[in-house]
């Protein structure tokens, strides 16, 4: 009994110290590896947030222009990492908007006598492609209908 008491007073053994250091090492390894994956997740989240904002802004701009001012066709613009306009070679995002008319209704312009679009449904699609990574493009779309039809 006296021998057991003396060992407890002198501290732990070498085996206990090694076991404790292994536990601390494994814990630190887990913490350090999670910091790296958290940083990557934050970068991806920031990129998605900018792309989402660009698409929503373009869609809202087209919606505000309204039915009569939209021409059918595709528009492409290039944006940097913060969403600012940039040259195609420096772009982090490629923003593409497409306007198409479904079931067009034509009338005649009273002044020129030329046919003009007076009705139908317009599909407006906006997509964002991330140029620096191989991710699927982010796309949103809406349907515009001229009032009174």
Task: Please name which of 81, 83, 146, 93 lies closest in space to residue 117, comparing C-alpha atoms.
Answer: 146
Task: Please name which of 149, 72, 144 lies closest in space to residue 118, comparing C-alpha atoms.
Answer: 149
- How many folded domains does the chain comprise? 1
Question: pTM higher than 0.75 for the full model?
Answer: no
| CB atoms near residue 43 (< 10 Å) | 11
Task: Please name which of 98, 93, 97 lies closest in space to residue 129, comparing C-alpha atoms.
Answer: 93
pLDDT tens, position by position, for the chain (149 residues)? Answer: 555 555 555 666 878 888 888 998 888 888 887 887 888 888 888 888 888 888 888 888 888 887 777 888 998 999 888 888 888 888 888 888 988 888 888 888 888 888 887 777 888 888 888 887 766 666 777 777 765 44
H or E, element range at 19: helix 14-65
């Amino acid at each position: 009994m006296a021998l057991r008491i003396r060992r407890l007073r002198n501290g732990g053994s070498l085996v206990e110290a090694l076991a404790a250091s292994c536990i601390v090492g494994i814990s630190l390894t887990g913490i350090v590896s999670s910091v790296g994956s958290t940083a990557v997740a934050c970068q991806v989240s920031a990129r998605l947030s900018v792309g989402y904002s660009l698409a929503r802004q373009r869609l809202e701009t087209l919606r505000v222009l309204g039915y009569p001012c939209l021409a059918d066709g595709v528009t492409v613009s290039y944006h940097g990492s913060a969403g600012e306009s940039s040259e195609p070679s420096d772009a982090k995002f490629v923003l593409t908007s497409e306007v198409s008319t479904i079931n067009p209704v034509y009338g005649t312009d009273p002044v020129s006598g030329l046919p003009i679009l007076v009705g139908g449904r317009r599909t407006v699609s906006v997509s964002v492609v991330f140029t620096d990574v191989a991710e699927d493009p982010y796309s949103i779309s809406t349907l515009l209908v001229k009032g009174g039809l």
